[in-house]
Amino acid sequence: MQKYRARVLSTALLAVALAALGLAGTAQAKLTGEYTKFAQCPYKTAEVKKCVYAVTESGEVVLGSKKVPIEKPVTLQGGAGAINEEEFGKFYAATNGITLSKAPQNVPGGLLGIVPDASSPALVKALIKFFLENSLTGVNSTLELATPASNIMISESHLAGEEGIALKLPVKVHLENPFLGKNCFVGSSTSPINWNLTTGTTSPPAPNTPITGAGGEGELLEAGHIIRLKNNKLVDNAWSAPSPAGCGGILSFLVTPIIKAQLGTTTAGHNAAILKGTVMSAAAVAVKKNDEEHP
């Protein structure tokens, strides 16, 4: 009797396990072809009308007197809602939480490029010497989303039409080096750097002059369900950046002002963002359908 009970129980457990596996299988997206790019799109959310996948492959970010080339790809992914009267759709965060990927970019000149040894206080000098001796001179600049993804706004019409703002992106720049500590940022959630990127021509205040982006070469894929814009160029050189904050850990009161001085003026007209890459967009319904067709 006991043996029989044990057998029934183990069979039941096996059935439950198999059912769980089966459920896990259906929950897993199995997108195919070009649809695979949209695996992190919240296409099951009713409000999401489009899926967006944009990779910046090159370009540069100019912050005051510092220019950081983009050498490692940065990905923006998620969903976009119905467009409003101004032709903007609200952004929805990527399902894996990585709406804007964190790709550390090398800051030319490293530590000495942003904390000059000569003009620094003795304590800072001594610390820099230590970091130089231990080859910890590399500084990375990582672009991060400053506010929730819902504050990103995208206009596909402007993106393709090469006029007006195509992408509103609130960001902050994370400067990373052991000497700078973990909290050295330009921009924050309460005071973000607001990029109003366009594929058209900018109208920046002086001393910057207008620069022009590009929609790129458009192509419809997967029977019109996906659009890809290759060689897309988004630009903005009219943005302002707040002062850096939190640099140098406990020596922040000494280091942050030095970095601020090194960056120079970061008011509007002194900065630029040039993002070159590929933008892909798909109808959320089509991505969902592709998912359902490939369980």
Residues engaged in binding another protein (CB under 8 A): 49-50, 82-83, 87, 156-157, 160-162, 199, 214-221, 223-227, 229, 281-283, 285-286, 289
Minimum distance of another protein from residue 76's CB (angstroms): 17
Contact assessment for residue 73 and residue 98, using Cβ atoms and an 8 Å cutoff: no
Minimum distance of another protein from residue 280's CB (angstroms): 9
Q: Give 60's strand partners.
A: 69, 274
Q: Of 43 and 131, which CB lies nearer to another protein in the complex structure?
A: 43
* 3-class DSSP assignment, residue 67: strand
Q: Of 154 and 241, which CB lies nearer to another protein in the complex structure?
A: 154
**Burial letters for 250-271: b for 16+ Cβ neighbours within 10 Å, e otherwise?**
ebbebbbebbbebbeebeebbb
Q: Of 225 and 270, which CB lies nearer to another protein in the complex structure?
A: 225
Minimum distance of another protein from residue 190's CB (angstroms): 33
Q: Of 59 and 64, which CB lies nearer to another protein in the complex structure?
A: 59
Q: For residue 67, what are the CA distances in angstroms to 11, 223, 263, 266?
A: 65, 41, 10, 12
Minimum distance of another protein from residue 121's CB (angstroms): 52
